[in-house]
Amino acid sequence: MKILVCMKQVPQKDAPLKLNETGTWIREDVSYEVNEPDAYALEEALRQKEKHGGEVVVITAGPARSQQVLREGLAKGADSAIHLEDPGFVGLDAFNTAKAFAAAIKEENFDLIFTGLQSDDYGYAQTGVVLAEIMGWPHATIIMQIDKQDGGIKVKRELEAGFFQHVDMPLPAVLTIQSGINKLRYATLIGIKQAKNKPLRKVTMDEVRSSLGDNMQKIEKLYIPQKTKKTEMLTGSPAEIAKQLVEKLKNEVRVL
Amino acid sequence: MIHFRRPLPQIERPQMEADVVIVGGGPSGMACALRLSQLIDDHNAKHPESQLTKENIYVLEKSRETAQHLLSGALLDPRSMRELLPGFEKEAPIDAEVVKEAVYFLTAKRKFKLPITPPPLRDHGNYVISINKFVKWMGEKVEAAGITVFNGFAGSELLIEGNRVIGVRTDDKGIDKEGNQKSNFEPGYDLKAKCVILAEGSRGSLTKQLVARFNLDKDRNPQTYGVGVKELWEVPNGRIAKGQVIYTMGYPLTTQEYGGAWIYGSKDNIVSLGYVTGLDYHDPRVDPQKILQQFKKHPFIAHLLEGGKMIRYGAKSLPYGGWFAVPPVAGDGWMILGDSAGFLNSQRLKGIHLAIKSGMLAAETAFEATTKSDFSKQQLSTYQTRVDNSWIKEELWPVRNFHQGFEHGMLEGMFHAGVQQVTGGRGLFERYESVPGHERLQTLNTLSPSGDDRAHMLGAAKGDGKLTFDKLTDVYHSGTKHEEDQPSHLVVHDTNICATRCTVEFGNPCQNFCPASVYEMEEAADVPGGKQLRINASNCVHCKTCDIMDPYQIITWVPPEGGGGPNYDGM
């Protein structure tokens, strides 16, 4: 199987964030890391390859710094990488990112495309699904398990409240992978060293521009929320407090 | 039962051959890699017939991203950088050029400005930098030069054969709390190297192994240390000028402790402030994190910070034993750089420029050794000669007795510093002796329960959440993070001592000197004394204070699983 894994570089979870000057996104001077859900997608792809043979390709879109996520993917065992390299890719919405990916891989024949469930920064959870739509492929989200079958795959999806759904799907298909379904491997010294000599194809903005449209979604303004939390102490006997509480839950908060 | 980290015995390990392995991607290690690359490039341009490769030169760095474990003030004396990369100012991340400086002596409520800034603390021409941002930039240059930086890999053991260092073993990954292999276990590599360069920073764990193995501290003064506890603040406009430098002495320390504070104005209203406490204090109840909190309550500092916001926290030890505490820096297959060697000018409170210079000199030595295919002690000892003939010694020799002069308090220290000033650094004795700082700790029964004039320094900081913070809040701001399911990397060789002798004699000072709340004595019903040691290893910020200051010397800091540790972005 030939599997493409879409990976994103996101600010580290504990990075102190600052707004940029236009107030539309954060300032760039933070540390970045691999979007954690994508790490699980990569791990799943590598395991499928180990089981069934084939090839794993990692792809990302972003400025030069984002090459780091591809290096990490290659170091862990991906065979090659595709980098849509331009700072302009950062500002694309999910629809345009998916279009850019589709344009960049139109010459390749993948059996499967994996993405993480969502990104830690925007959290759209859309890019994978939109990509399937653009490719004209079926997709399934929140995947817990993938088993190869004759002529297709059987996947297990996580639903709410402890329910799962088992689906037979044809290939090719797009799957968005649930986090935590496998145990991430470590990159090894030899893996990191070999990654330097693995093929990395760069795609410029110009090569895919004709496939892109206007962003349908954009961030107008980003601001740090003002703390408005107010604590109110209820006093009285336990019975009185309970009564007041029920009153408030009914009439003020309206959850009862 | 706490399980402690050690390399798994009797497992098969992957091997890799290397020419040069630099352990530690700080300023000295990165400068070493860069200089080595320059020399190889020059050589290759001149000798097309005998090309040298950079393919097998590696930097091992335990942090997940380059420079994330680096903490300093920091002021950079640009001397060595100008030698390494002339014109570096044009592209390096420099936050400000020092425009004015002042030294204050603080009492509990007042401040006295020294009429003149003592020459060693004059910083015109130096730069305010974030060591994190600066070395990140150096690291990019190293990678661009074709040298591989292995981020997330620590050196856990030296490979030694006879009298020769033949390589480094990297950390085992994927071991659980009990020491068992997890499903994603990856054994550490045996990285066989012609030359191992130790650039681990202050109190390096491999350097410690090396010093012990070959008695490198023989005929040397013991290394002495301080711990710098730092907070990065964003303050309202106009509080401090960009490039303004303030040093303080005195409060909250008494004349019996060594230390002082720095405050540097950076760009964008960012202020770097921190307090260095000498790790040779008497009172085991002293808490360096509390001292920083107490310092901020001084009206002078409180006003500076009012309405501001603390954005990062961290701590790091620094060696200030001086020239007489520097071990031999080269031997069969190895060299030691920067803070690991103790190249720090305690009078000027600066070491980055010396670390960089030592890295360059080691690179020149390694290059020469490569062209001669000779990594013997005799060949590598030319590094020692290079250091002795360079401005490293020129700068450190006149201050060789500086810190020792203060070991009996500030007043005597001032006197000795004065005498040394007029005798070219000699002072009253050719070589001032020194004792390891932990030996100065006094037992509780010799100290007043209230602490007397030290009372304000004792007891855990409570913190108001605005100006001052309790330790856990501060630790949260260090961004430190470790794989939780792994053995403790704080190796306590005899945990019985903690609950018995130490509780009685010193009151478990690990709880006080650790700036990250790693050590805790918790109630336990079934043990004698009713208390036992708990190690919150995930809180560790890799400052090494415990390894240095523990009175029984039973704590050994070893690197945790690679990638774990603080995130000193912007520090």
- CB of A19 closer than 8 Å to CB of A6: no
Q: In what order do the strands lie in the sheet with A112-116?
A: A164-170, A152-158, A139-149, A173-177, A112-116, A2-6, A55-62, A80-85, A200-203
The three-class DSSP label of residue B433 is coil
Is residue A199 in a domain?
yes
A88 vs chain B: nearest CA distance in angstroms? Answer: 22
Average pLDDT taken over every residue of chain A: 93
Write the CB contacts of B161 (distance below 8 Å, at least 6 apart in sequence).
none
Chain B residue with CA closest to A12: the answer is B567
Q: Residue B149 above 90 pLDDT?
A: yes
- Chain B residues near residue A186 by CB distance under 8 angstroms: 173-174, 184, 186
pLDDT at B14: 96
HEC-encoded secondary structure of B315-348: EEEEECCCHHHCCCCEECCEEECHHHHCCCECCC
Is residue A233 in a domain?
no
Cα-based distances in Å from B125 to A159, B90, B92, B212, B432? 63, 15, 15, 40, 32
B552 vs chain A: nearest CA distance in angstroms? Answer: 36
A16, A188, A193 ranked by CB distance to B186: nearest: A188
The three-class DSSP label of residue B363 is helix
Name the one residue in this structure whose structure tokens are 């400005």. Answer: B113
Average pLDDT taken over every residue of chain B: 94
Higher pLDDT, residue B470 or B430: B470
Q: Find the mean pLDDT for residues B260-281.
A: 96
Amino acid at B515: P
Mark yes or no for CB contact B64/A190 under 8 Å: no
Mark yes or no for CB contact B173/A186 under 8 Å: yes
Cis omega (within 30 of 0) for bond into B74? yes
Q: What is the C-alpha separation between B75 and B351, in angstroms, rounded?
A: 9
Is residue A28 in a domain?
yes
Q: Residue B129 above 80 pLDDT?
A: yes
Is residue A79 in a domain?
yes
Write the CB contacts of B312 (distance below 8 Å, at least 6 apart in sequence).
A16, B230, B231, B232, B477, B478, B479, B568, B569, B570, B571
Higher pLDDT, residue B431 or B362: B362
pLDDT at A25: 87
Which tokens is B475 given?
Answer: 């630790």
- Chain B residues near residue A183 by CB distance under 8 angstroms: 182-184
A31 vs chain B: nearest CA distance in angstroms? Answer: 7
Mark yes or no for CB contact A186/B14 under 8 Å: no
- Chain B residues near residue A29 by CB distance under 8 angstroms: 133, 570
Q: Residue B99 above 90 pLDDT?
A: yes
pLDDT tens per residue across span A218-250 = 888 988 888 777 788 898 999 999 999 999 999
Chain B residue with CA closest to A32: the answer is B65
B64, B153, B184 ranked by CB distance to A189: nearest: B153
B569 vs chain A: nearest CA distance in angstroms? Answer: 7
pLDDT at A19: 87
Within its chain, how far is the Cα of A83 from the centroid? 16
Q: Residue B528 above 80 pLDDT?
A: no
Of residues B278, B300, B321, B272, the one with CA closest to residue B132: B272
Provide the residue count of chain B.
571
Write the CB contacts of B168 (distance below 8 Å, at least 6 apart in sequence).
B21, B23, B60, B155, B157, B158, B159, B191, B193, B196, B206
- Chain A residues near residue B173 by CB distance under 8 angstroms: 186
Amino acid at B82: R
**To 10 degrees, what angle do helices A36-52 and A67-76 make?**
30
pLDDT band at residue A128, thresholds of 50, 70 and 90?
Answer: very high
Is residue A244 in a domain?
no
Chain B residue with CA closest to A43: the answer is B184
| Assembly ipTM | 0.89
pLDDT band at residue B120, thresholds of 50, 70 and 90?
Answer: confident
Mark yes or no for CB contact B68/A31 under 8 Å: yes
Mark yes or no for CB contact B481/A188 under 8 Å: no
pLDDT tens per residue across span A68-89 = 999 999 999 999 999 999 999 9
Q: What is the DSSP string of chain A?
A: -EEEEE--EEE-TTPPP-B-TTSSSB-S-S-EEE-HHHHHHHHHHHHHHHHH--EEEEEEEESGGGHHHHHHHHHHT-SEEEEEE-GGGGG--HHHHHHHHHHHTTTS--SEEEEESS-SSS----HHHHHHHHHT--EEEEEEEEEEETTEEEEEEE-STT-EEEEEEESSEEEEEPTTSSPPPPP-HHHHHHHTTS-EEEE-HHHHHTT----S-------PPPP--------S-HHHHHHHHHHHHHHTS---
Q: Residue B134 above 90 pLDDT?
A: yes
pLDDT at A29: 79
Chain B residue with CA closest to A31: the answer is B569
- CB of B329 closer than 8 Å to CB of B288: no
Residue B140 is inside which H or E element, if any? helix B131-144
B403 vs chain A: nearest CA distance in angstroms? Answer: 37
Q: What is the C-alpha separation between B386 and B363, in angstroms, rounded?
A: 11
B14, B150, B186 ranked by CB distance to A192: nearest: B150
A30, A183, A192 ranked by CB distance to B148: nearest: A192
A16, A186, A192 ranked by CB distance to B186: nearest: A186
pLDDT band at residue B80, thresholds of 50, 70 and 90?
Answer: very high
CB atoms within 10 A of CB B93: 15
Q: Which residues pair with A143 in a beta bridge?
A: A157, A177
Which tokens is B79 given?
Answer: 């001397």
Chain B residue with CA closest to A191: the answer is B150
Q: Find the mean pLDDT for residues B350-375.
A: 97
A15, A188, A193 ranked by CB distance to B148: nearest: A193
pLDDT at B501: 93
CATH of the domain at A59: 3.40.50.620
Q: Find the mean pLDDT for residues B123-151.
A: 96
pLDDT at B416: 83
Is residue A249 in a domain?
no
Number of domains in chain A: 1
pLDDT tens per residue across span B497-506 = 998 899 999 9
B186 vs chain A: nearest CA distance in angstroms? Answer: 7
pLDDT tens per residue across span B217-236 = 999 999 999 999 999 999 99
Cα-based distances in Å from B8 to B61, B179, B187, B238? 21, 8, 8, 55
Of residues A122, A14, A110, the one with CA closest to residue A61: A122
- CB of A201 closer than 8 Å to CB of A80: yes
Burial class from Cβ neighbours inside 10 Å (0-12, 13-18, 19+) for residue B348 reads buried
A85 vs chain B: nearest CA distance in angstroms? Answer: 17
Name the one residue in this structure whose structure tokens are 């002082």. Answer: B260
Q: Does A31 touch chain B (CB under 8 A)?
A: yes
Q: Find the mean pLDDT for residues B520-527.
A: 86
Q: What is the C-alpha separation between A22 and B190, in angstroms, rounded?
A: 50
On the CB side of B405, CA atoms within 13 Å amount to: 23
A187, A190, A196 ranked by CB distance to B14: nearest: A190
Burial B463-498 (b: 16+ CB within 10 A, else e): beeebbbbbeebbebbbbbbbeebbbbbbbeebebb
Q: Which residues pair with B97 in a beta bridge?
A: B127
- CB of B542 closer than 8 Å to CB of B563: no
Least confident range from B47-51, B463-467, B521-525: namely B521-525
B182, B189, B567 ranked by CB distance to A189: nearest: B189
pLDDT at B408: 78
pLDDT at A195: 95
pLDDT tens per residue across span B302-340 = 999 999 999 999 999 999 999 999 999 999 999 999 999
B479 vs chain A: nearest CA distance in angstroms? Answer: 6
Is residue A241 in a domain?
no
Amino acid at B151: N
Q: Find the mean pLDDT for residues B358-368.
A: 98
The three-class DSSP label of residue B242 is coil
Chain A residue with CA closest to B268: the answer is A18
Q: Does A29 touch chain B (CB under 8 A)?
A: yes
Is residue A235 in a domain?
no
Write the CB contacts of B550 (distance below 8 Å, at least 6 apart in sequence).
B438, B509, B510
Is the dihedral angle over the CA atoms B168, B174, B176, B180 positive or is it negative?
negative
A192 vs chain B: nearest CA distance in angstroms? Answer: 8
Restricting to A residues 148-207, those with a Cβ less than 8 Å away from any Cβ of B are 183-190, 192-193, 196
Q: Residue A104 above 90 pLDDT?
A: yes
Mark yes or no for CB contact B567/A12 under 8 Å: yes
Of residues B444, B107, B477, B448, the one with CA closest to residue B294: B107
Write the CB contacts of A243 (distance below 8 Å, at least 6 apart in sequence).
none
Torsion of CA B462, B465, B467, B470, to 10 degrees: 30
Q: Which residues pair with B161 in a beta bridge?
A: B164
Q: Residue B60 above 90 pLDDT?
A: yes
- Chain A residues near residue B184 by CB distance under 8 angstroms: 183-186
pLDDT at B184: 95
Q: What pTM was computed for the model?
A: 0.93
CB atoms within 10 A of CB B450: 9
B418 vs chain A: nearest CA distance in angstroms? Answer: 45
pLDDT more than 70, % of chain B: 100
pLDDT band at residue B424, thresholds of 50, 70 and 90?
Answer: confident
Mark yes or no for CB contact B481/A187 under 8 Å: no
Chain B residue with CA closest to A68: the answer is B65
Residue from B56, B62, B148, B466 whose CB has the most chain A CBs within 10 Å, to mutate: B148
Range of the domain at A114: 2-211
Contacting A with CB below 8 Å, chain B residues are: 14, 16, 64-65, 68, 133, 148, 150, 152-153, 170, 173-174, 182-184, 186, 189, 191, 311-312, 479, 481, 567, 569-570
- CB of B324 closer than 8 Å to CB of B407: no
Of residues B334, B333, B352, the one with CA closest to residue B343: B352
pLDDT at A252: 85
